[in-house]
Amino acid sequence: MMRNILVTGAAGFIGSHLSEALVRKGYQVTGLDNLSYGRIENLAPILAHPSFQFIQGDVRDVDLLRTIGRSMDAILHLAAFKIPRYSNALETLNVNSKGIENVLNVSVASGCRVIFASTSDVYGKNPNLPYSEKNDFYMGSPQIRRWSYAISKILGEHLCFLYHKEHGVRVTILRYFGSYGPKQNLTWWGGPQSIFIDCALKDAPMPIHGDGLQTRSFTYIGDTTEGTMRALESEDASGKVFNIGSTEETTILDLGKKVWRLVRGPEEPRIEYIPYRQFPGRYEDVRRRVPDIGLAKEILGFSPKVSLSEGLTQTIEWQRSVTTSGGALLG
């Protein structure tokens, strides 16, 4: 009987939603976060809940994790650095590889399950769409820093499977496709929809990288959480990888226009195109990204329910409430 769950990166966007969902379902939840990018406010609804405990600490801290992990039935490992241009590639590589390694070692000792949050970015530039879990990973030159994130996650996936094979760790890998929703980070870290909503609320031009015709499949946080819960509670998820995402493909430009319309009505959206060459260093974008979620549907019974328009409407409502109630939350 699964009861005690450790969520790393609990104060982050996905981590806080998951922690809350777990507490609501009756689990005993321990949330770990070093608050480097996570915000304690994200956990406000459950901070005082008797089934929730928050620990501020680093996921790379071997002794800390060993102590907490001893009594856990499962670890949801979400703590990660994602955009190298936000800190640096070194931190991204370091946190992402050592975090999962530490989690896996704890699991060897305690026998708990591990759910590893990976990313759609591992498919990289692969031109064959939609991406099934069997698709190849297309990475670019190491001189392009953006690949450090995907490569650190691929290494994490390998560590998961190697621990699974060599130590019998029961591990499940989830490749998330761009989650958004209330509590999302309000910088680029939170994704383009976050920036677009902010611009539309302020009647400022929305910055679009490149030609805006690159596509993504944005997944509403409720669906991401749902997929993760299903993986956690499934008897058949061990040793497997699942895409967790929406199959509603949209161009970044259409996303911007949609956000603008939902916030400001029929007026002409204000858009500012930003060429990639203005990025520091070299940059490579991924043109299209859509998941094949057949496996998650078959094994986990997962299917995303919230449409982009519906999800954006809720996200805009939330973002309006936090940005008008004062800038303190933005810090």
Partner 1 sequence: MMKTVLITGGAGFLGSHLSRHLLHKGFKVVSVDDFSHGDRNNVTGLRDFPQFSFHEGDVLDREFLINVSEGADILVHFASYKIPREGNALKAVEVNTKGTETVLEVARERKIRMLFGSTDDVYGKNPELPFSEESALVIGSSKSVRWSDAISKMYSEQLCFAYQDAYEVPINILRFSIIYGPWQRGDWWGGPQGVFIEKALKKEPIPIHGDGLQVRNFTYISDAVEGVLKVIDKEEVRGEVLNIGSFEHVRILDLAYQIWHLVGNSEKPDIEFIDYPDLCQDYEDVRVRDLDLTKARCLLDYAPKMGMEEGLKRTIDWFRSCSKR
**166 lies in the site for partner 1, by CB under 8 A:** yes
With binding defined as CB under 8 A, does residue 283 bind partner 1? no
User: Rounded to the nearest 10 degrees, how much is the dihedral formed by the CA atoms of 314, 315, 317, 318?
Assistant: 120
DSSP letter for each residue of 196-264:
HHHHHHHT-PEEEETTS--EEE-EEHHHHHHHHHHHHH-SS-TTEEEEES---EEEHHHHHHHHHHHHH
Asked if 145 is part of the footprint of partner 1 (rule: CB under 8 A), the reply reads yes
Q: Minimum Å distance from CB 142 to partner 1? A: 4
Residue 140 binds partner 1 (CB under 8 A): yes
d(CA 111, CA 69): 10
Residues 11-50 that bind partner 1 (CB under 8 A): none
Q: With binding defined as CB under 8 A, does residue 243 bind partner 1?
A: no
Residue type, position 279, single letter = F
Q: Considering beta carbons, is residue 191 or 291 the nearer one to partner 1?
A: 291
Q: Which is nearer to partner 1, 123 or 196 (CB)?
A: 123
Question: Interface with partner 1 includes 157 (CB under 8 A)?
Answer: yes
Task: Find out whether the peptide bond into 275 is cis, omega within 30 degrees of 0.
Answer: no
User: Is 37 tagged catalytic?
Assistant: no
What gap in Å lies between CA 28 and CA 164, rounded to an integer? Answer: 25
Place of tokens 């929406």: 246
Least separation in angstroms between residue 180's CB and partner 1 is 26
Q: Minimum Å distance from CB 119 to partner 1?
A: 12
User: Is residue 151 a contact point for partner 1 (CB under 8 A)?
Assistant: yes
Tokens of 80: 């990660």
As measured in angstroms, the least distance from the Cβ of 101 to partner 1 is 9
Which residues carry out catalysis? 149
